[in-house]
Chain A
Amino acid sequence: KAGVTQTPRYLIKTRGQQVTLSCSPISGHRSVSWYQQTPGQGLQFLFEYFSETQRNKGNFPGRFSGRQFSNSRSEMNVSTLELGDSALYLCASSRAEGYTGELFFGEGSRLTVL
């Protein structure tokens, strides 16, 4: 069974630009969550999508947005990039039935903002 796939793995942007990151969950997983990981703040929850609907949202500004498609693939977008957005962005998927909070993570997309 293929794992969670995130693209791109690495990218460099400049301040003011926007970026779109993609995540393909494990087959059969309908929930996709996004996390931002930085050395200073650790793992911070961005949002969770289930059946194309945002079900939960973390405490991030509106520049951070996401969506989920009918095949459960998800994208997140960050507009008007700031230096502080440099981070590892992790996507995680999970089953819907009997869900306990166990997550299956991708390898992440490392964003550097110059």
Chain B
Amino acid sequence: AQSVTQLDSQVPVFEEAPVELRCNYSSSVSVYLFWYVQYPNQGLQLLLKYLSGSTLVKGINGFEAEFNKSQTSFHLRKPSVHISDTAEYFCAVTRSGGSYIPTFGRGTSLIVHP
């Protein structure tokens, strides 16, 4: 079975500063990786995904993530955050060739201060 660890439960940052949200996974087989964002009182929305190919993945709203197989990580980055990026961010992993039921991390609350 796979597992996901989001290393920070909360990340405070000032507007226009860069941010990195960390995600590590464990799996004995190949995986697909996802980042989702959840704004208050809403469901989750896909930010970006890694299925195969280039390890640098670009998503919506200026976010990007890099798949690092040797370190089993999939950290999310944004060079300059906005107040509107304040939300909960979830990393998820599915096992390729498996049941495709994602395992989610506990989430990281990104708080952007003016």
Residues of A near any B CB (own CB < 8 A): 4, 6, 33, 42-43, 45, 48, 55-56, 90, 92, 94, 99-108
Total A-B pairs, Cβ < 8 A: 53
* Alpha-carbon gap, A101 to B100, bound state (A): 5
* Alpha-carbon gap, A33 to B100, bound state (A): 11
Name the residue of chain B whose CB is nearest to the CB of A40.
Answer: B106
Contact A103 to B99, CB < 8 A, known contacts A4-B43, A42-B107, A108-B43: no
The interface on chain B, measured as residues whose beta carbon lies within 8 A of the other chain's beta carbons, has a size of 23
Which residue of B32, B42, B104 contacts A43 across the interface (Cβ within 8 Å)? B104
Q: Which of B21-29, B45-53, B61-69 lines the interface with chain A?
A: B45-53
Q: Which of B86-114 contact A (CB under 8 A)?
A: 90, 92, 94, 96, 99-102, 104-107
Main SS at interface, chain A: strand
**B74 contacts A by Cβ under 8 Å:** no
Name the residue of chain A whose CB is nearest to the CB of B102.
Answer: A101
Q: Can you list 14 A-B contacts (CB < 8 A)? A: A33-B101, A42-B107, A56-B99, A90-B43, A92-B44, A94-B100, A100-B51, A101-B92, A103-B36, A103-B44, A103-B102, A105-B36, A106-B43, A108-B43
| Shortest Cβ distance from residue A64 to the other chain B in the assembled complex, whole angstroms | 16
